[in-house]
């Protein structure tokens, strides 16, 4: 029997259960995959808490890497033994094996390990669309990135340096500030003791930045707006502190004809061609060592409750995975 983490009601981490499940054989368009490593993402807590609704009971997790064991009818491009990774699929990645649609799979190069893939597929593809699709960034631009020592933050900063960008990053502690600097963050603002918007103005000669990347949401929204230059863009790609407040269009006009977008990774990897382009660029940087993927927390799948507690407490730094 396979094993998986499931939940029957929404709530605190304690609603997660580790139990035996029957996987079965793949149907048309499906594969059965044996997981080698599973990704742990803050978005997982949104499903568990009910912020992102899901039919119950449900599995947990949307990111993993492993080996295909069987393919169903009509599956083209994959066969048993292939190494693959995925993100954004139906819930159920917190498992030893599963049946899932083949359309979500991304072929994994031999140069990239399973644990690395599980630590970076969602974060890396998120970084890819943020830097390569959202705004026409140019070498020399300065951007503000919240949570610069987080899983996305550490990949984002390294990739931004490859593009010639200057990154101002925010973190909660000096320990995280050192980590952000080590990954290429040019200026680090410890938001627990500094006024972020004021510091951004100081660093940009009063102009502000053309783009702010904000995965925090509720508590950073005002600061993000106040850090933008005229006609600047606020990219709200996460809500770690809660949903962003309602947007007052006139306020955007008064603050400099600002723009706000709330993108989702799913809309940037829905097209298989675009997904392959973004994944190819990400994998090439990682395989060549231009972007380092560091796994700072490792858990066993039966300890999903503890992993979610660590994630929500802010103790986690960078990427986390479940090892199988």
For 167-215, the DSSP string reads EEEEESSHHHHHHHHHTT-SEEEETTTS-HHHHHHHHTTT--EEEEEES
Spatial separation of the C-alpha atoms in residues 65 and 84, rounded to whole Å: 6
* CA 203 vs CA 168, 186, 195: distances in Å: 9, 11, 12
Tell me, letter by letter, the H, E, C secondary structure of 113-145.
Answer: CHHHHHHHHHHHHHHHHHHHCCCCCCCCCEEEE
Residue 9: count of CB within 10 angstroms of its CB = 9
Q: Are 11 and 48 in contact (CB under 8 A)?
A: yes
Q: Are 120 and 155 in contact (CB under 8 A)?
A: yes
Enumerate the domain spans of the chain: 3-121+271-322, 139-262
| pLDDT score of 317 | 77
Place of tokens 């070498």: 139
Percent over 70 (pLDDT), the chain: 100
Mean pLDDT rounded to a whole number for the chain: 95
Spatial separation of the C-alpha atoms in residues 165 and 71, rounded to whole Å: 43
Give the pLDDT confidence of 40-75 residue by residue, as tens digits: 998 899 899 998 899 999 999 999 999 999 999 999
Give the pLDDT confidence of 143-188 residue by residue, as tens digits: 999 999 988 999 999 999 999 999 999 999 999 999 999 999 999 9
Give the pLDDT confidence of 257-278 residue by residue, as tens digits: 999 999 999 999 999 999 999 9
DSSP helix/strand/coil, 69: strand
What is the mean pLDDT of the segment spanning 191-207? Answer: 96
Instruction: Give the CATH architecture of domain 3-121+271-322.
Output: Alpha-Beta Complex (3.90)
What is the mean pLDDT of the segment spanning 186-209? Answer: 97
Residue 316 has pLDDT above 80, yes or no: no
Domain 139-262 has CATH 3.40.50.720: yes
What is the mean pLDDT of the segment spanning 315-319? Answer: 77
How many alpha carbons fall within 13 Å on the CB side of residue 77?
Answer: 12
Spatial separation of the C-alpha atoms in residues 91 and 87, rounded to whole Å: 10
* CA 260 vs CA 61, 132, 265, 268: distances in Å: 28, 17, 16, 17
Residue 304 has pLDDT above 90, yes or no: yes
């Amino acid at each position: 029997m396979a094993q998986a983490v499931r939940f029957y009601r929404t709530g605190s981490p304690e609603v997660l259960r580790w139990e035996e499940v029957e996987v079965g054989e793949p149907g048309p368009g499906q594969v059965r995959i044996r997981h080698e490593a599973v990704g742990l993402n803050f978005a997982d807590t949104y499903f568990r808490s009910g912020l992102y609704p899901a039919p119950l009971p449900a599995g947990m997790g949307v990111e993993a890497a492993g080996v295909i064991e069987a393919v169903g009818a009509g599956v083209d491009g994959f066969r048993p033994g292939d190494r693959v990774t995925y993100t954004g699929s139906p819930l159920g990645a917190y498992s030893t094996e599963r049946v899932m649609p083949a359309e979500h799979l991304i072929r994994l190069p031999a140069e990239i390990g399973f644990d690395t893939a599980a630590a970076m597929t969602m974060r890396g593809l998120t970084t890819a669309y943020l830097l390569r699709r959202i705004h026409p960034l140019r070498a020399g631009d300065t951007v503000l990135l919240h949570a610069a020592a987080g899983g996305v933050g550490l990949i984002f900063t390294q990739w931004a340096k490859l593009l010639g960008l200057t990154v101002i990053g925010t973190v909660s502690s000096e320990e995280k500030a050192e980590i952000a600097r080590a990954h290429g963050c040019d200026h680090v603002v410890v938001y627990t003791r500094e006024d972020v918007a004021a510091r951004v103005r100081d660093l940009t000669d009063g102009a502000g930045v053309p783009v702010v990347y904000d995965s925090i949401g509720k508590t950073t929204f005002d600061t993000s707006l106040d850090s933008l230059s005229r006609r600047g863009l606020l990219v709200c790609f996460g809500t770690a502190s809660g949903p962003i407040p309602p947007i007052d269009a006139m306020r955007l006009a008064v603050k400099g004809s600002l723009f706000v977008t709330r993108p989702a990774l799913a809309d940037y990897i829905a097209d298989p061609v675009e997904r392959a382009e973004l994944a190819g660029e990400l994998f090439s940087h990682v395989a060549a060592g231009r972007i380092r993927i560091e796994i700072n927390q490792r858990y066993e799948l039966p300890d999903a409750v503890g992993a979610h507690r660590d994630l929500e407490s802010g103790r986690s730094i960078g990427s986390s995975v479940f090892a199988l």
